[in-house]
Structure 1
Amino acid sequence: MAAETAAPRRRSRLPGDRPLVASPSTWFVWAGVAAFFVFLAGIVVSVLVDSFGRGWFTTWLPEEFTTEWYASAWSEFGLAEVMWVTLVVAAVVVVVSVVVGVPAAYLLARRTFPGKRLVMLLFLLPIMMPPITYGIPLATVMYNMGLGRTLTAVILVNLVPAVPFVIMTMTPFIEQVNPDIERAARMSGARTTAVFTRILAPLLVPGILASSVLVLVRTVGLFELTFLVSGPGSDTLVVAIYRAMTASGGGEARQLISSMGVLYTLTMVVILVIALRFVNPTQLVAQVKETRED
Structure 2
Amino acid sequence: MTRSPLVLIGKIWLALILVFLYAPILVMAAMSFNASPFYQLPFQFSTDWYAKMAGNQQIIAAAIRSVLIACATTAIATVLGTAASVALFRYDFPGKRILQVLLFPPIAIPWLITGTAMLVFFFAIGIGRGTPAVLIGHVALALPYVIVTVSARLSSFDVTLEEAARSMGANAWTVLSRVTLPWIAPGIVAGALFAFAVSFDQFVVSYFLSEPGDSTLPVLIYTAIRKGFTPEINAISTIIVTVSMAVMFLAARFSKFGGSR
State the SS of the aligned residue for 2:69.
helix
Structure 1 range deviating more: 168-177 or 110-119: 168-177
Q: 1:221 to 1:58 in 2, by over 3 A?
A: closer
| Cα displacement (A) at 1:232 | 5.1
Q: 1:217 maps to which residue?
A: 197
1:219 alignment partner AA: S
Q: In the alignment, which residue of structure 2 is the partner of 1:27?
A: 8
Q: CA 1:33/1:196 → structure 2, altered by over 3 Å: closer, same or farther?
A: same
61, 70, 74: which is aligned to 2:42?
Answer: 61
SS in 1 for 2:169: coil
Contact 2:207 2:215 in 1 (8 A): yes
**In structure 1, how many angstroms separate the alpha carbons of the residues matched to 2:167 and 2:22?**
58
Could you tell me how far 1:94 is from its partner in structure 2?
Answer: 1.4
Q: Which secondary structure state, in structure 2, belongs to the residue aligned with residue 123 of structure 1?
A: coil
Gaps of 5+ in 2: none
TM-score w.r.t. structure 1 length? Answer: 0.77
Provide the alpha-carbon RMSD of the alignment.
2.7
Matches within 5 A, 1:128-139: 128-139=108-119
Which residue of structure 2 aligns with residue 263 of structure 1? 239
- 1:110 counterpart = 2:90: yes
Deviations 1:106-146 (A, max 9, x none): 12112222222110111111122222222211122234455
Aligned partners of 2:253, 2:212: CA distance in 1, in Å?
34
Q: Quick one: which amino acid aligns to residue 179 of structure 1? A: V
Does structure 1 residue 51 correspond to structure 2 residue 41? no
What residue in structure 1 maps to residue 258 of structure 2? 282
Larger Rg: 1
| Inter-CA distance 267–239: structure 2 relative to 1 (3 Å threshold) | farther
The match for 1:151 is 131
**Structure 2: how far apart are the matches of 1:116 and 1:81?**
43
Q: With structure 2 as the length reference, what TM-score do the two structures score? A: 0.86
Whether contact under 8 Å (1:150, 1:233) holds in the other structure is no
Q: Does 1:241 align with 2:221?
A: yes
Q: Residue 182 of structure 1 aligns with which residue? A: 162
How many residues are matched? 261
Which amino acid in structure 1 is aligned with residue 4 of structure 2? A
C-alpha separation between the residues in 2 aligned to 1:38 and 1:67? Answer: 26
Q: Is the 8 A contact 2:28 2:238 kept in 1?
A: yes
